[in-house]
Every structure is written in C-alpha cells, then in structure tokens.
Amino acid sequence: ILGFSTPPGRLSVMAFILNALTCALGLLYFIRRGKQCLDFTVTVHFFHLLGCWIYNSRFPSTLTWWLVHIVCTALMAAIGEYLCMRIELREIPLNSAPKSNV
C-alpha cells in the first residue's frame, strides 16, 4: 500500500512522516538526551520491522517500504536530537532570587 503513485499510498507515506515528527517530540519528553536519540530511534524502527515481519509472515521486500522507513528514521533522529540539544544547551540560572534595584 506504500507508494507515491496512488492517493492512499501518498496518504500512508504522509502518515509515516507525521508519525516520525510526533515521535521526535516523544524523544524530547521521554529521553531528553541528544546522544541517545539515534539509539532509541533505531530501536523503535527495528521493533516496527519485527512487528511487520511477524504480522505479514514475510520480510518486507519492497523498495518503497525501505525508503519510507529510512527517511522517517533519519527525520525522527535529526529532529529529536535538535530538540534535545536545544534543551541541553539552555543557560543554567545561577541566582534564583528575584532581582532588586537598590
């Protein structure tokens, strides 16, 4: 069903891309470490590969399936790492007391 030539195929591809974007937000909220984003992204997609293999009783062999998942893996890892790095690189407040003008 994944393909670029039919409307249901394009809709499925867009759903996978939107899923990668929302999972990148999940990396931000659950992982919070830029160094671990790639590891968790590859792990999630590996478990998805295993689930597809078990569900369909055969290994995914279409080029489109592999292209979509490689792009989604790269997108999820890159955006997740970018978001996590923005959080990690914030300034650490040294003084928590309110400032007063004396």
Asked if the model's pLDDT at residue 64 lies above 80, the reply is yes
Asked if the model's pLDDT at residue 85 lies above 80, the reply is yes
- Dihedral of CA 83/86/92/96: which sign? negative
Q: Could you give the CA distance from residue 88 to residue 78 in angstroms, rounded to a whole number?
A: 15
pLDDT, the chain, mean? 89
Question: How confident is the model over 69-91, as a mean pLDDT?
Answer: 91
Question: pLDDT tens digits for 35-60?
Answer: 899 999 999 999 999 999 999 999 99
Q: Hunting for tokens 């290994």 — which residue is that?
A: 59
Question: pLDDT tens digits for 13-41?
Answer: 999 999 999 999 999 899 888 889 999 99
Burial of 78 (0-12, 13-18, 19+ CB in 10 A): middle
